[in-house]
Structure 1
Amino acid sequence: MNSVRWSTHVIEIRDDDVTKRYRKGDVRALLDREWRALTLLDAHAPGLAPTPIAVDRDAVPPTVVMSRVPGVPLRGSPVDAARTAALAETLDALYRAVPYDRLARVPVRPDHQAGLVARLRTWHGRGPGPAAGSVVRAALREGMAWLDRPGLATAPDVPGAPVFGPGDGNLANYLWDEGASRIRVVDFEDSGRSDRAFELAEITEHVSGWVDGGFDATAFLGCFDLTAEEHVRLRECRRLLALTWLFILSFEDPAHRVNPPGTAERQAGRLRELLG
């Protein structure tokens, strides 16, 4: 058995199943979102995600057991054309999976539009981390000036047709099964009702997609037949997520750096390009 520790949970991996123990944060909410996602997808899109096996809300810590799915994470290696097409196919199926009448009863995912806007205003009040240089600070000022304009901050939180969103754009959560030429999705702690443009922005702007230089966001987005309204919203959501990531990277402690040096400055350039 292999054991992997994350910030909020511990994962125990066996040959056929995976046990996830929730240790930090709002553990009941994390568990409930994960279990709801697994059961919904098992019912409406079997094979896209692990199969739910057992849940124990009263355990200390609370625990979910699910099947182990084959594949290797997309993060950390180039995402070629085959993987890009498979990722788009999986996400398209996932977004469409949950019937509308059932999806209407699913809460909006955490850190959706309204939640992020409120979080950014709080972070702006605190200011960036002490290690943030002049390039990062200037880009943050430009980003907050954009956020203060009428538009996204006052738009409906989930406009248009809702979709089921996995809620995490980390490419480590998308597993490439080369033998089956398909991708499966894991980690649904932040899943919930969302909209397609926001979820696509979540993936294209996640630092895991570009810090290693292996993910072609333009090719990926080209796999989706977006409406004119979704194209406009996608641009605004990408700006919102890029600004969020710039704040996150500005808070990174240089003594305990997760990303390569200069990542925050590169993110500042990405944000400015999107704002332009």
Structure 2
Amino acid sequence: MTAGRCTHDLELHDDVVIKRYASWERGEPHREWKALTLLAEHAPGLAPTPVDAALDARPPVIVMSRLPGRVLRGEHATDEQIRAVAAALDRLHRVPRRVVEAVEPAPWGPVAAVTKTRAWAGRRPDLGGDPVVREAYRAGVAWLASAAPDRLVAAPSSPVLGLADGNRANYLWDEHGRRVRLIDWEDSGRNDRAFELGELCEHISHLDGSLDARRLLAHVDLAPGEAERVRDFRRLIALGWFLQLGPGGPAAPHNPAGTLEAQAARVLRLLG
């Protein structure tokens, strides 16, 4: 969960994309190349095909195939598109466990989310005087102080290869093929499946267009107990964004007026 971080430049050609990284302190080029390579073997067509790489160059560079389509961010996703997202996630989450367990953990996952969200709450950010916002803060702080976030960390579910980034701009709708593909794997790694689903449902890009989380989750085959974990990860991630949206917060400059109030209402609905 990072607000306003520019990580790469893209050079688009007819059949390939050249990606040059602006930052790589977390191993972004290596993460992306590893994910693209594994997906080309275990879920071909779900992501760009890796073509070439200079991972230790300055800046690092990856060349990958260019996929057709348009991103879902800013779209009001149709039922067909929602089903296609669920189908894409199903393919991704079926990458064999033995393969996933050899992948480096994603930098953004349950432990990082709980730690950072509690830290943001502890700083008592300036969230203004709106009564709904103030109520969301009180309710959020109370939930963060409960045992629920600790249970999310203490009882991880089956690991999957994940994007660790729920930005709807990473979901590419192919109008011709009637399917969704996944792009931008620089934060990827081994992650908790319930966390990945919660991150997709509650990334702040949900305010730019719409993708009905309830309908999406209805198309996902959740294991026993996983629905409750997804619900609590949604609460956690929604709270994290909410706490960054106050005046002077890191997410505030990148979102339109009214975002804080809308996110406060969403937090209260999720906690209710």
TM-score normalised by length of structure 1: 0.89
Structure 1 residues 125 and 253: CA distance shift in structure 2, 3 A: closer
Matched to 1:159, the amino acid is P
* CA distance in 1: counterparts of 2:247 and 2:194, whole angstroms: 27
Aligned residue in 2 for 1:12: 11
Aligned residue in 1 for 2:125: 128
Q: Does 1:165 align with 2:162?
A: yes
Aligned residue in 2 for 1:69: 67
Q: Which runs of 5+ in 2 are unaligned?
A: none
Q: 1:95 aligns with which of 70, 93, 96?
A: 93
| Identical positions, percent | 47
* CA distance in 1: counterparts of 2:211 and 2:247, whole angstroms: 25
Given that residues 152 and 229 in structure 2 are in contact (C-alpha distance below 8 angstroms), is that contact kept between their aligned partners in structure 1?
no
* CA distance in 1: counterparts of 2:60 and 2:155, whole angstroms: 30
Q: Secondary structure of the equivalent of 2:244?
A: helix
Cα shift at 1:65: 1.2
Aligned residue in 2 for 1:227: 223
Moved over 4 A (4+): 129-134, 251-254
Structure 1 residues 157 and 171: CA distance shift in structure 2, 3 A: farther
1:226-251 alpha-carbon deviations (Å, 9 max, x no partner)? 13310111111111111111122226
Q: Secondary structure of the equivalent of 1:250?
A: coil
Given that residues 173 and 180 in structure 2 are in contact (C-alpha distance below 8 angstroms), is that contact kept between their aligned partners in structure 1?
yes
Q: 1:45 aligns with which of 43, 46, 49?
A: 43
Count, aligned residues: 268
* CA distance in 2: counterparts of 1:252 and 1:17, whole angstroms: 39
Cα shift at 1:104: 1.0
Matched to 1:248, the amino acid is Q
* CA distance in 2: counterparts of 1:12 and 1:127, whole angstroms: 42
Cα shift at 1:192: 1.1
Q: Does 1:190 align with 2:187?
A: yes
* CA distance in 1: counterparts of 2:47 and 2:129, whole angstroms: 38
Q: Secondary structure of the equivalent of 2:63?
A: strand
Q: Secondary structure of the equivalent of 2:27?
A: helix
Matched to 2:195, the amino acid is F
Q: 1:55 aligns with which of 35, 53, 56?
A: 53
Cα shift at 1:6: 6.6
* CA distance in 2: counterparts of 1:13 and 1:132, whole angstroms: 46
Matched to 2:240, the amino acid is T
* CA distance in 2: counterparts of 1:130 and 1:177, whole angstroms: 40
Aligned residue in 2 for 1:218: 214
1:4-42 alpha-carbon deviations (Å, 9 max, x no partner)? x9711111111111111111351x611111111111101
Q: 2:255 aligns with which of 244, 255, 259?
A: 259
* CA distance in 1: counterparts of 2:215 and 2:61, whole angstroms: 38
Q: Does 1:117 align with 2:103?
A: no
* CA distance in 1: counterparts of 2:146 and 2:73, whole angstroms: 35
Q: Does 1:181 align with 2:189?
A: no
Structure 1 residues 223 and 130: CA distance shift in structure 2, 3 A: closer
Of the structure 1 ranges 265-274 and 101-110, higher mean CA displacement relative to structure 2 is found in 101-110
Of the structure 1 ranges 122-131 and 243-252, higher mean CA displacement relative to structure 2 is found in 122-131
